[in-house]
Every structure is written in C-alpha cells, then in structure tokens.
Amino acid sequence: MNKPVDVGPKWFQAMMLPIASKSDVGALRSFALTMAITIPLIFMLVLPWLFERSIPNWPIAMSMALALTQIFKPSILYPIYLVWMVFASALGWLNTHLIMFVIFYFIIVPIGLFMRLINKLQFKHKITEKSAWVKNQKIPSKENLKEPF
C-alpha cells in the first residue's frame, strides 16, 4: 500500500481527502476514467441543456486524451490529480460547514426557541442550584461494579 502524500500545512491537511502517491497507478487510472466520463456529461449534456447553448466538441477530445493517458502512462496525470484533490477537499470542507450551518441556524435554533417559548424544554435548569451533580447515596459493592445498570 502506498503512503499518502502530505500537501500543505497541518491545518490544511486536517481537511484534506486522502491523496494517493504518484506510483499508485490504480488510483490515477480510476481518477482519469472518472474524469473522462464526467467531463463530457457535464459540458455536453447538463450545461448546454441548462443554458440552451450548442453542444461543444472539446469535451470529447479531453475525454479521449484522459482515456488514452490512463491506459498508457497514468503517472502523467498526477499533477492534475493533485490539483483536483486539493480543490475537491476545499470544496468538501466548505460544503460540509455550509450545510451544518444551515441545518443548525435554520432548523435546530428555531426549534429550540419555539420549545423555550412554549416552555417544553426537556432540560429543566433551576437557577437556584449551584450544580447539576446528583450525589449517590448508595455505597458501591462488587455486584454494582459487575452489573452497573
């Protein structure tokens, strides 16, 4: 198994997807095949349909170049793969945080405010108490430790 490649500072590596090494031919072939299929689909079907434009021919040429490269010399694709993985990692990090932000502030917070408004919160916090800690009056025995519940 090939060792993953380190790209950038430590804070950036925390959000990075795993990146294959240059000698990982299988990963590079998989990347090239995925791109060879995806690029024509996006640029020849989806975008012309959305924007009512004519169908371009360059995605076929790019797809053929990727397909031939992945067959004969996949290591040439490594710089493209590296740039794509950095871009995909940043995009994945952004999407994840954006989705979590939307869910929290547009779903969780309004539900919490509504529950507080109608006084139906599950946690009843009494301001008079200094702590929420409940002291156990029982002395622990061997049976309690073997079967705690």
The pTM for the full model equals 0.68
The DSSP 8-state label assigned to residue 119 in this structure reads T
Q: In tens digits, what is the pLDDT along the chain, a chain of 149 residues?
A: 455 566 667 777 777 788 888 899 999 999 999 999 999 999 999 999 999 999 999 999 999 999 999 999 999 999 999 999 989 999 999 999 999 999 999 999 999 999 989 988 777 666 666 776 777 777 778 887 788 76
CB 91 within 8 A of CB 84: no
What distance in Å separates the CA atoms of residue 72 and residue 137, rounded to the nearest whole number? 75
Burial class (CB in 10 A: 0-12, 13-18, 19+), 77: buried
Q: Where are the alpha helices (DSSP H) in 3-149?
A: 10-13, 25-40, 47-51, 58-72, 78-103, 109-117, 142-146
